[in-house]
Amino acid sequence: MSVHSRRENINLADMIDITEAGRAMHVFATELYPICRSITGNGIRSTLGRIGEQIPLILHEVPSGTAVFDWTVPNEWNIRDAYVANANGERVIDIRRHNLHILSYSTPIHARMPLAELKQHLFTLPDQPDLIPYRTSYYQENWGFCLTHNQLMGLTDGEYEIVIDSTLAPGSLTYAECFLPGATEDEVLISCHACHPSLANDNLSGIVLATWLAQLLGQSERRYSYRFVFIPGTIGSITWLARNEAHVGRIKHGLVLTCLGDPGHTTYKRSRQSTAEIDRVVEHVLRHTGTAYAIKDFFPYGYDERQYCSPGFNLPVGCLMRTPHGRFAEYHTSADNLDLVRPEALADSLAKLIAIVQVLEQNRTYRNLNPMCEPQLGKRGLYGAIGGQIDAKSYQLALLWVLNYSDGEHALIDIAERSGMPFATIAHAATALQSAGLLTEDVQSIEWSAR
Amino acid sequence: MSVHSRRENINLADMIDITEAGRAMHVFATELYPICRSITGNGIRSTLGRIGEQIPLILHEVPSGTAVFDWTVPNEWNIRDAYVANANGERVIDIRRHNLHILSYSTPIHARMPLAELKQHLFTLPDQPDLIPYRTSYYQENWGFCLTHNQLMGLTDGEYEIVIDSTLAPGSLTYAECFLPGATEDEVLISCHACHPSLANDNLSGIVLATWLAQLLGQSERRYSYRFVFIPGTIGSITWLARNEAHVGRIKHGLVLTCLGDPGHTTYKRSRQSTAEIDRVVEHVLRHTGTAYAIKDFFPYGYDERQYCSPGFNLPVGCLMRTPHGRFAEYHTSADNLDLVRPEALADSLAKLIAIVQVLEQNRTYRNLNPMCEPQLGKRGLYGAIGGQIDAKSYQLALLWVLNYSDGEHALIDIAERSGMPFATIAHAATALQSAGLLTEDVQSIEWSAR
Amino acid sequence: MSVHSRRENINLADMIDITEAGRAMHVFATELYPICRSITGNGIRSTLGRIGEQIPLILHEVPSGTAVFDWTVPNEWNIRDAYVANANGERVIDIRRHNLHILSYSTPIHARMPLAELKQHLFTLPDQPDLIPYRTSYYQENWGFCLTHNQLMGLTDGEYEIVIDSTLAPGSLTYAECFLPGATEDEVLISCHACHPSLANDNLSGIVLATWLAQLLGQSERRYSYRFVFIPGTIGSITWLARNEAHVGRIKHGLVLTCLGDPGHTTYKRSRQSTAEIDRVVEHVLRHTGTAYAIKDFFPYGYDERQYCSPGFNLPVGCLMRTPHGRFAEYHTSADNLDLVRPEALADSLAKLIAIVQVLEQNRTYRNLNPMCEPQLGKRGLYGAIGGQIDAKSYQLALLWVLNYSDGEHALIDIAERSGMPFATIAHAATALQSAGLLTEDVQSIEWSAR
């Protein structure tokens, strides 16, 4: 009870200067941007190391060759240098100028070849001739370079020297977890991929948001336990699920965070369950922000939600984004950079994420202890003038809504949705009614997925 | 069977001259208007007495202090005189000019005080400066006067004499019931509040409608038993529910009647169950009136439906109105008078109420006794020319609709809704098919609330 | 498995030249047009004989007087000649000029009477004065002639000779079945009425479509057994149901075919179950044709679906049409002729019918054998370049949709609907996944009607 009362008084949004946080997240993204990440290797390892300076993080190393469901943890890839030099020895393509120049997971090579032969290993975007594409070849051995189409057009015939100083050999896959225990063992999973090299929106925005949320939650009371996972995309979530299969039942709600720094409006992709509590909570929060947003039904491609929501797991994990992958022109190109990602967009995404967590923390199902007719609110001081920032008339209606629908079948989020009121007003009313002895928390949990 | 056949021939609307009824209801409202009603006392008592001259009514007196759920029946309030006189002894505020001048439940006082002190007990509407507001203080002892804002502005400084000749003392709360037994013990509850002083739409319109409906039903065959309750708002329905808790299971359908005399279109507020038979019936009737109407989902404030629909009761009771409370400018002011309430609006409300009751009376679930292929209607004289006012082609389609959907899972109202036809056509067809031995009433009642 | 694999490779649409089929169906309709059909007699008998030259057909003769549910098989009617001659012996109304001139089931007569008396037996369409109406009197003995209103206006007073050389006597009702056994005993029922005389859209279009579909299916592998019934309307389907009552459980899907040759867009009337597999399949196919179409909920009048969907049977049988009966001006008049029915409309209807059957044949429920995370498609050659006409990117998404939703609760049609993809793409993906050992057919059948 005392924990509960204390927690009710915590307003996460009050604990943080959102504008300042937006700026700080952008600074951290700027720090991480130059690291050449991939799904394994020192790039992701050092990235996780930097995150670990911000929040308590445990790194896990999973040996190459480990079977994880239908997949196998691949060899570890590390890259030291990569370039193409012309006859004059000038580096015409150079990883030191941009990490995207190297096809990720390129095998080592040192050779000379004419342009015609080299071209079979060069990737460009003819429709966006000034941008370098992002390409990978994780599961098929290959080597290559990515460059702008204009750069390719400028290459003269002749012989070139190719140097890729990489290693692709048994090692390990690295991922990290930040676990914040709460009052219950029920968990909220926050997942983001950390395997993309110099891409800011599609990678770094999710990482910095998760980091800042973890920092904030680390300082507050928590009803739920929170598990933040920083993983390489696809193989990382598959590996994590394979190693945690026995415990996924604890995950009550989850979000994949990605593409949260661009100037577009917020997009939420529902979990496969489609009406899980997380789905309803995010939709409620977005509806009450007063700004444009989009809701998408689950589809089985995208980010790691496709693994969390595979039919054998079917976890209540949605995906929070701004502009979805593939819908912004800069996606998977060198233009997905620190200019695309704005501090104010990061701040706005963080504010929404905090609001979502706030609702999850406070959403409960209560039972009206005086269900026969209305209780007399006046004699309990619940009717009439009340202080605070919440409008008095709304608050009194909220008391009636909570009393009428607290029949064990409606959680506070349901009552908020039905009344059209913001969750905070409904939760405030519930707290007051509980203090007045008119409401008790219903121990029966609601079967959300059955709705 | 014979009762049934007779009842089917009764068309309630044919038993009454609706235009004339509108005029008569307005006359009765005019009679009741000057009475100074409150939630207890001689005002409501004499109002119920007058109603009892129109329909068989049993008055109930519940002693002050009686516990009714979370509430206590309050002391009885009676008022004989109330005025504010100026230094010249002129009554500048005088209950004899308008009942609304007295704050309802004002405690007795005889005092002199300067205007400044008096003002703390004066209530006006600055935004509607020509109207007297309606104010009460049932559960907090106080005294006061209501007046127009212009009147307040005209009061000169100086000393005033205050006289409130009231009593607030143990007595009783009065309510009344008109019970009309029907062929079954299943009841239709019609509830209206009778506690407002000179307010015409918000009080008297419901009272006169209920009275006229009771008169009409008293003269006709009834499948259902009808229970009309005339009660003070809130405390009255709470008291009634407390005293009838054991029997509320008999209430199969119910309506709260209020604000039914203004020129606005009809509004129906659904029961908390939202798809109860009464909800579907009222919506069907309104849809087929050919005039504008509005349907509102249940919300836990308004009139006595908030008690009938409290979660512990959750009765199938909706609320029939024209313009909802708070949505017309005259609400709870001296402008809610006999000009706002029009005979033709009362007549229109009565016509709709009668149509609703007619559907409730006739709505049944039948079973097709020839469910394998269509029966041959021609050989039974059911196909071809038929007399009467109902269009022959519609009627023949209605026969097919009733036959096809009388599978024990669809009541006539469902078939009417599904076919898009008026209920009367469907009911007419069902009667003909039953007479032809093709249909039998299904004894299994439909679980409406489970839908 | 081998049957399955072979069947998957069959594309019914590839087996036929649709344009040519449209022309050929029109030729066959032209052949059948002059026959004077009724619900019994030599007209329908010889019509079925001609159909039997195209497809394997078994004729059934049901004796007059046979009880079929609430009905009795009527006497057999045959007509040899029918005319009205004027005083000069000129045939002013002559069945030899148009079959519609005779009121179907007219009793024999040879008499003379003045025009005034004759007029009581003449039927015209005053609003369409150039068209001959179609009228019948099956269950009430009568005689009569139908003619254009202009023709009637031109008849001079005087005596006329009436000759109807018909017989109405015990005989039999004739219907026919074409049964094509499939891999399972589960049946698809295709029903059309064959009792209308010279009416092309409302009768012949359904007959020729059913004939061509039967021809096509006769040449292909079949998962389902197909039963085509050619029957007189109403009494025919009632008779068929009465004689096959014990076996209707085999009917898993069904369509009534009618009015499929006019230039209007396709209309589908849902089965009474409304969400049966046939309903969902037809709607899916029509949605993906890219042309206008209409879906109507079931209503208990129309064609023989009213018998198949009577509540005692409630079979999953919808009705496929272009312009519904009564909605085109030519309906049941001499203008419903071979000009109204166009080869290209017949071809389009056949193409849609074939697409519907193709989906029924391929719609299955599968179970993902690797439901924990996604399987690695790349190592199985399922990811990357693929040949064929289906767009590679769509195909890869289809693989993911099928994997994610093959949880035993979604059939391929559900997955197609949910993904928004055409069924063929989804089915193609399912076949590939099954071949790769990632999918197995779910033996549990889905309860469609329970949805």
| Cβ-defined contact of A300 to C404 (cutoff 8 Å) | yes
In this structure, the answer to whether residues A201 and A260 fall within a common structural domain is yes
- In this complex, is the C-beta atom of A369 within 8 Å of any C-beta atom belonging to chain B? no
Q: C178 with C49, same domain?
A: yes
- Position A3 pLDDT exceeds 70: no
pLDDT band at C386 (very low <50, low <70, confident <90, very high): very low
pLDDT of amino acid A384:
60
Q: Are A189 and A253 in contact (CB under 8 A)?
A: yes
CA distance A370 to A365: 15
Render the burial of B269-298: b for 16+ CB within 10 Å, e for the rest. bbbbbeebbbbbbbbbbbebeeeebeeeeb
- Decide: A257 and A356 in contact? Cβ < 8 Å: no
Please give the structure tokens belonging to residue A249.
Answer: 């039942």
Burial of A250 (C-beta count, 10 Å sphere; 0-12/13-18/19+)? middle
Closest-CA distance, C307 to chain B, in angstroms, reads: 5
For A42, phi then psi, to 5°, come to -70, -20
> How far is the C-alpha of A237 from the C-alpha of A193, rounded, in Å?
9
State the average pLDDT over residues B201-213.
97
Beta bridge partners of A114: A159
Cβ pair B368:C238 closer than 8 A: no
Predicted local confidence at residue B134, as pLDDT: 97
Same domain, yes or no, for C269 and C334?
yes
Q: Which residues contact C391 (CB under 8 A, 6 or more apart)?
A: none
Tokens (6 digits) for C405: 């939703």
Last residue of some domain: B169, B203, B233?
B169
Contact between C257 and C269 under an 8 Å Cβ cutoff? The reply is: no
Does C260 map to a domain? yes
Burial B106-118 (b: 16+ CB within 10 A, else e): beeeeeebebeeb
Nearest to A374 among B242, B299, B310 (CB): B310
At A247, which helix (H) or strand (E)? none
Distance (Å) of CA C109 to CA B306, C36, C156, C157: 75, 19, 22, 21
Here the tokens at position B188 are 């239709």
Contacts of A397 in chain B (CB under 8 A): 301
* pLDDT per residue as tens digits for the range C211-253: 999 999 999 999 999 999 999 999 999 999 999 999 999 999 9
**Closest Cα in chain B to C240:** B373
Check residue A63 and give its pLDDT.
98
- Regarding an ipTM greater than 0.90, the answer is yes
Selection from C153, C271, C209 nearest residue C32 by Cα: C209
Bridge partners of B83, per DSSP, are B94, B163
**A376: which chain B residues are within 8 Å (Cβ-Cβ)?**
70-71, 139
What per-residue confidence (pLDDT) applies to B43?
Answer: 98
Question: Please, what sign has the CA dihedral across residues C25, C26, C31, C37?
Answer: positive
C302 in reach of chain A (CB within 8 A): no
Q: pLDDT for B240-269, tens place per residue?
A: 999 999 999 999 999 999 999 999 999 999
Residue B342 near residue B322 (C-beta atoms within 8 A): no
Contact (CB<8Å) C306/B378: no
pLDDT score of B10: 72
pLDDT score for B386: 39
User: Which 8-state DSSP code applies to residue A296?
Assistant: E
Select the residue of C372, C397, C404 nearest A241 (Cβ to Cβ). C372
For residue B90, being part of any structural domain is answered with yes
Question: In one letter, which amino acid is A61?
Answer: E
C378 vs A139: CB contact, 8 Å cut-off? yes
Would the CB atoms of B71 and A406 count as touching at under 8 Å?
Answer: no
Euclidean distance between CA atoms C430 and B301, whole angstroms: 54
* pLDDT above 80 (res A387): no
Name residues whose C-beta falls within 8 Å of residue C154's C-beta, 6 or more positions apart in sequence: none
Please give the C-alpha separations between residue A7 and each of A88, A179, A182, A386, A413, in angstroms, as whole numbers. 68, 19, 11, 21, 18
State both tokens at C298: 């079931």
- Mean pLDDT in chain C? 94
| A112 and A22 assigned to the same domain | no
SS3 for C375-441 is CCCHHHCCCCCCCCCCCHHHHHHHHHHHHHHCEEEEEHHHHHHHHCCCHHHHHHHHHHHHHCCCEEE
Burial class for A87, CB neighbours closer than 10 Å (0-12, 13-18, 19+)? exposed
- Band of pLDDT at residue B449, cut at 50, 70 and 90: very low
| HSE (side-chain half, CA atoms, 13 Å) at C440 | 7
Tally C-beta pairs within 8 A across A and C. Answer: 59
- Residues of B in Cβ contact (< 8 Å) with A372: 69, 241-242, 245, 310, 312-313
Say which CATH number the domain at C106 has: 3.50.30.90
Q: Are residues A282 and A409 in the same domain?
A: no
pLDDT at B9: 54
**DSSP letter, residue C142:** B
Beta strand spans in B388-431 (E)? 407-411
Residue A17: which CATH number? 3.40.630.10
Chain A: list its partners (3+ Cβ pairs within 8 Å): B, C
Q: Do C194 and C54 share a structural domain?
A: yes
Predicted confidence at residue C450, as pLDDT, reads: 38
Q: Do C311 and B375 touch (CB under 8 A)?
A: no
* Same-domain check for residues B226 and B132: no
Q: Where are the beta strands (DSSP E) in C335-391?
A: 365-368
Condensed to tens digits (0 to 9), the pLDDT of residues C114-166 reads 999 999 999 999 999 999 999 999 989 999 999 999 999 999 999 999 999 99
**Does C323 reside within a domain?**
yes
Strands C317-321 and C251-257: parallel
Name which of C174, C175, C178 is nearest C54 in CA terms: C178
Give residue C448's pLDDT: 44
Judge contact between C134 and C195, C-beta under 8 A.
no
Is residue A114 within 8 A of residue A159, CB to CB? The reply is yes
CATH value at residue B411? 1.10.10.10
User: What is the model's pLDDT at position A450?
Assistant: 38
Minimal CA–CA distance to B146: which of B182, B183, B189, B199?
A: B199
Is pLDDT at C8 greater than 90 in this prediction?
no
Nearest CA in chain A to C384: A140
pLDDT (average), residues C427-435: 96
Whether B291 has its CB under 8 Å from any CB of chain C: the answer is no
At B342, list the tokens. Answer: 């029009």
- pLDDT attached to residue B393: 84
Confidence (pLDDT) at A10: 72
Which residues of chain A make contact with B69, given a CB cutoff of 8 A? 370, 372-373
| pLDDT exceeds cutoff 70 at B390 | no
What is the spatial distance between Cα B298 and Cα A419, in angstroms, rounded to a whole number? 10
Among all chains, which residue has been given the structure tokens 């050992």?
C437
Residue C6 lies in a domain: no
Distance from CA of B8 to the nearest CA of A (A): 38
Find the closest chain A residue to C415 by CA distance: A299
C268 with C392, same domain: the answer is no
CB contact under 8 A, B372 and C312: yes
Mutate to test the interface with C, among B373, B409, B415, B419 (most CBs of C within 10 A): B373
Contact B317, B207 (CB under 8 A): no
Specify the pLDDT at position B388: 44
Give, in degrees to the nearest 5, the angle at Cα C380 between C375 and C384. 95
Instruction: Spell out which residues of chain C touch residue A310, defining contact as CB-CB under 8 Å.
Output: 371-374, 403-404
**Closest Cβ–Cβ partner in B372, B397, B406 for C313:** B372
Final residue in a domain of this structure, among B142, B169, B196: B169
Domain span at residue A195 reads: 12-73+172-362
d(CA B407, CA C311): 6
Encoded amino acid at B76, one letter: E
Confirm whether A3 is domain-assigned.
Answer: no
B397 lies within 8 A of chain C by CB = yes
Q: Residue A326's CB: how many other CB atoms inside 10 A?
A: 11
Flag whether B5 is in a domain. no
Per-residue model confidence as pLDDT tens digits over A284-307: 999 999 899 999 999 999 999 999
Residue A330 lies in a domain: yes
Are A331 and A444 part of one and the same domain? no
**Does the pLDDT value for residue C34 go beyond 70?**
yes
Place of tokens 């051995």: A141
Contact A311 C370 (CB under 8 A): no
- Residue of B299, B305, B314 for testing the chain A interface, max A β-carbons within 10 Å: B299
> How many angstroms separate the CA of residue A261 from the nearest CA in chain C?
27
Determine the distance from the C-alpha atom of residue A184 to the mean position of all C-alpha atoms in its chain, rounded to a whole number: 22
**Any idea what DSSP says for residue C270?**
P
Place of tokens 């598959």: A238
For B314-353, what is the HEC assignment? CCCEEEEECCCCCCCCCCCECCCCCCCCCHHHHHHHHHHH
C270: tokens are 């849902």
Q: Does A241 touch chain C (CB under 8 A)?
A: yes
- B273 CA to chain C: closest CA distance, Å? 23
Percent of chain A with pLDDT over 90: 90
Q: Domain tally for chain C?
A: 3
Point out the residue among C370, C374, C405 whose CB comes nearest to the CB of A307. Answer: C374
Asked which of A362, A383, A405 is the last residue of a domain, the reply is A362
Q: pLDDT tier at C444 (50, 70, 90 boundaries)?
A: low
- Report the pLDDT averaged over residues C39-59: 98
Asked if residue B4 is part of any domain, the answer here is no
Q: Are residues B333 and B395 in the same domain?
A: no
Other C-beta atoms closer than 10 Å to the C-beta of B122 total: 18
Same domain for B203 and B154, yes or no, is no
What's C25's DSSP letter?
H
Average pLDDT, chain B: 94
Residue bearing tokens 């400044």: B116
Contacts for B311 with CB less than 8 Å, ≥ 6 apart: A368, A371, A403, A404, A405, A406, A407, B272
Amino acid residing at C416: A
DSSP, collapsed to helix, strand or coil, labels residue C254 as strand
In angstroms, the CA A109 to CA A101 distance is: 15
Q: Are B207 and B192 in contact (CB under 8 A)?
A: yes
DSSP, collapsed to helix, strand or coil, labels residue B283 as: helix
Query: H or E stretch including A228?
Result: strand A225-231
Residue C408 burial (CB < 10 Å; 0-12/13-18/19+)?
Answer: middle
Q: How confident is the model at residue A439 (pLDDT cuts 50, 70, 90)?
A: very high
Determine the residue among C366, C370, C373, C419 to mutate to test chain A binding: the one whose Cβ has the most chain A Cβ atoms within 10 Å.
C373
Do B87 and B187 have their domain in common? Answer: no
Binary contact (B406, C301; C-beta < 8 A): no
* pLDDT at residue A391 is higher than 90: no
